[in-house]
Amino acid sequence: MRPLEAVYQIAFMVDALVPACERWAATTGAGPFFLFDPMTFIDPRLRGQPSDPGIAIALGFSGNLCIELIERRGTGPSVFDGTAPGQLHHVARLTVDIEAALTGMALQDFEAPFEGRFAPDTRMAFVDTRATIGCWTELIQVNADIEGALGMIEAAHAGWDGAKPCRQF
């Protein structure tokens, strides 16, 4: 299991996923990247209202650090607005108890304007920590599905020969 309540991922906005995956692989050795295109959320809500974040993402590893690349495609209001391609958007933490994690962030005066789910049993939220650390913080409820997907992507990195840096998940 990955460390809980610790940053395991950094995420950057990009202008286009496939060229960004290729650049990251060639420049840093991170990869291969697995595309989630589009990234689908269940019941996404921005400030309590239904929302469509309108993104596609790619996930890859560099050692045990997960790298997420995000391409914004939607035009509606989103937590992905305001971060230019090439800039850090968020760091992510895994948590067993997302309610407790959100309560802890609220006690520090951080709001979570976006919440949703990746799958029926995987809740997530974006907490606005930009004024304090310069980027958002994503909280993800850890479970067997998340661990399985991250484990598969990390294992692909461990045995990777540099070929085919972009792959469908």
Determine, yes or no, domain membership for 168. no
Cα–Cα distances in angstroms (integers) from residue 131 to residues 7, 108, 109, 110, in the given order: 18, 12, 11, 10
Instruction: Look at the chain and report how many structural domains it folds into.
Output: 1
Return d(Cα 83, Cα 135) in angstroms, integer: 9
Determine, yes or no, domain membership for 127. yes
Determine, yes or no, domain membership for 169. no
Any idea what the CATH number is for the domain that residue 27 is in?
Answer: 3.10.180.10
- Tens-digit pLDDT string for the chain (169 aa): 678 889 999 999 999 999 999 999 999 999 999 999 999 999 999 999 999 999 999 999 999 999 999 999 998 899 999 999 999 999 999 999 999 999 999 999 999 999 999 988 899 999 999 999 999 999 999 999 999 999 999 999 998 999 999 999 9
Range of the domain at 136: 7-161
What was the pLDDT predicted at 3? 80
What was the pLDDT predicted at 1? 65
What was the pLDDT predicted at 26? 97
What was the pLDDT predicted at 27? 97
Determine, yes or no, domain membership for 166. no
What was the pLDDT predicted at 5? 87
The model's pTM: 0.96
- Mapped onto helix, strand or coil, the DSSP state of residue 88 is strand
